[in-house]
Structure 1
Amino acid sequence: MNELNVIFNSLRGFSLYSLVDILVVSYIFYKGYSLIKETRAEQLLKGIILIFLLIPISDFFNLNMLLWILEKTITIGVIVIVIIFQPEIRKALEHIGRTSFVEKIIYEDEAVMHGVINEIVNAVEQLAEEKTGALIVIEQKTGLSDIINTGTKIDAEVSSALLQNIFVVNTPLHDGATIIRNDRIIAAGCFLPLTANDKLNKQLGTRHRAGIGVTEITDCLTIIVSEETGVISLAVNGRLLRNYDKEKLRTILVKIMKSRQNKKISFKERVKGWISKKDKIS
């Protein structure tokens, strides 16, 4: 009877604000789980839930030693979590930081956008034919200044000839990433973070893993040309799509750049639209 009174009293105090509160908290938990799903953090969460379930059980059965161990584990657990899962925490915070209500317009002049894309795809086609390895990063909404600082500043107009010259084998800047911001080549020879995804094809080398890695922590686009096969790949949102030709690459880049003008569609929804089911994903 007392339990029923508690329930009725709770329902009596329920209001629209209570509903909003529940929905907001539910959304936060859902987004949090989405970020850690299929990662090491998911296994950690299961372990934490198990510990919290064991504490009242051990207390009920007077398992004092087990209770003491569990309580000490909880005490130092927060510090251990921060140390061990620093990459996942950083990724989650960067994901939150990229979320905004106002989209940054990358190209206001569509003619400039098409000109930049043409120069890029012409260079990539030539590099692929010659089997010259290349790694080109196109900055989007998230700034890449920390990555730019690891390379050599250039700040030159995007041109096919310059891009090809940068990646000539045995030149100082060929073994690194070239960063493009709007219609400028900002830097070359830059170092990118490698992906931690252990499910990728083992035949993919450091260039591909770096290209994927930077798209996992930012919203940039990365074009990769394989040095061994000349295959053109595109990395976006942590996914690698392979076997592009000049026209196919041009088409998807135009779609991506144009979509920046639409402020109502999230980046993840756009990615789903860009990626065709026929694309080969590695």
Structure 2
Amino acid sequence: MFEIFTQLRWQDALDIGIIAFVLYRLIHMIRGTRAMQMIIGLVVILLAYVSSQMFGLFTLNWVLDNFLGSIILVIIVIFQSDIRRALTQFGTAPLFGGADRIERGQVLEEITKAVVSLATRRIGGLIVLEREVGLNEYIEVGTRLDARVTRELLESVFIPHSPMHDGALVIQKGRVAAARCFLPLSVDPNLSQAFGTRHRAAVGLTEETDAVAVVISEERGKISLVVEGKVIQDLEGPQLRSSLQRLFGT
């Protein structure tokens, strides 16, 4: 055993370190998501394949052997959203760019005030905050604004009968990038039937990116925060503010 360590080169240590880091990042990225559940399912299939060889279950072994023969294609199809999200993280800028903590805090405060006001008046809305993964593909199909984040602007966008009240408002690099942006709807069968289009759009986007979404329900006048496909419901103003501050490091 000791001889193995004495024969290790510095390149071997670097190689092991890189692989360990990549595996750690992958586990961290998929932890608590549907991808983790699917990986567990694939591990069970692999164990069944090994067991079929050990116990001579030839038919089961033949079926699993053919399935595992195309495992790379299966993984790409199953994890296409997660793979796309991981690849798009390279070379992208964070939400606030070079903004300092005070400026970030002011932006989040304006968002919180607007959301609470909309919820009080039971005006529905969907606000998306970009983080590391870029949202340009959704911004480009919306109505570009490139405006400073203010409570008044956010409220005016979602006023009923406003030409921009449909769709989502996207905040990028500390500014209102666009409104009337249409997002992918989640197809998760486990989502509550009580969720409407706004909630499903928020879940759909946050499943594919690391964005944070705030949903205001016009039916109930309630606020929801959506992160990584998970919906945190019935938030009050202070709870929303503290959650956003924690997510964006202010």
Q: Same fold (TM over 0.5)?
A: yes
Q: Give ranges in structure 1 of 5+ residues lacking alignment.
A: 1-7, 260-282
Match of 1:171 among 159, 162, 179: 162
**Structure 1 equivalent of residue 221 of structure 2:** 230
**Structure 2 equivalent of residue 212 of structure 1:** 203
Matched AA of 1:79: L
CA, structure 1 residues 258+12, in 2 after alignment: closer, same or farther (shift >3 Å)? Answer: closer
CA, structure 1 residues 78+221, in 2 after alignment: closer, same or farther (shift >3 Å)? Answer: closer
With the length of structure 1 as denominator, give the TM-score of the two structures. 0.69
Structure 2: how far apart are the matches of 1:74 and 1:111?
53
Cα deviation, 1:62-86, whole Å, max 9, x if unaligned, reads x5x7766555444344334433x1x
Indicate if the aligned counterparts of 2:144 and 2:178 stay in contact, CA closer than 8 A: yes
Indicate if the aligned counterparts of 2:95 and 2:129 stay in contact, CA closer than 8 A: no
**Structure 1 equivalent of residue 97 of structure 2:** 106
Q: Give ranges in structure 2 of 5+ residues lacking alignment.
A: none
**Structure 2 equivalent of residue 40 of structure 1:** 38
* C-alpha displacement of 1:239: 2.5
**Structure 2 equivalent of residue 183 of structure 1:** 174
CA, structure 1 residues 257+80, in 2 after alignment: closer, same or farther (shift >3 Å)? Answer: closer
Indicate if the aligned counterparts of 1:107 and 1:113 stay in contact, CA closer than 8 A: no
Identity of aligned residues (%): 30
Cα deviation, 1:172-195, whole Å, max 9, x if unaligned, reads 321211001133211111122233
CA, structure 1 residues 229+53, in 2 after alignment: closer, same or farther (shift >3 Å)? Answer: same
Cα deviation, 1:110-141, whole Å, max 9, x if unaligned, reads 44333322322222122111111100011122
Alignment size in residue pairs:
242
Indicate if the aligned counterparts of 1:106 and 1:257 stay in contact, CA closer than 8 A: no
Cα deviation, 1:16-59, whole Å, max 9, x if unaligned, reads 4567756765665566566366533432332234224434654x
Structure 2: how far apart are the matches of 1:90 and 1:135?
22
* C-alpha displacement of 1:99: 7.6
Structure whose alpha-carbon radius of gyration is higher: 1
* C-alpha displacement of 1:161: 2.0
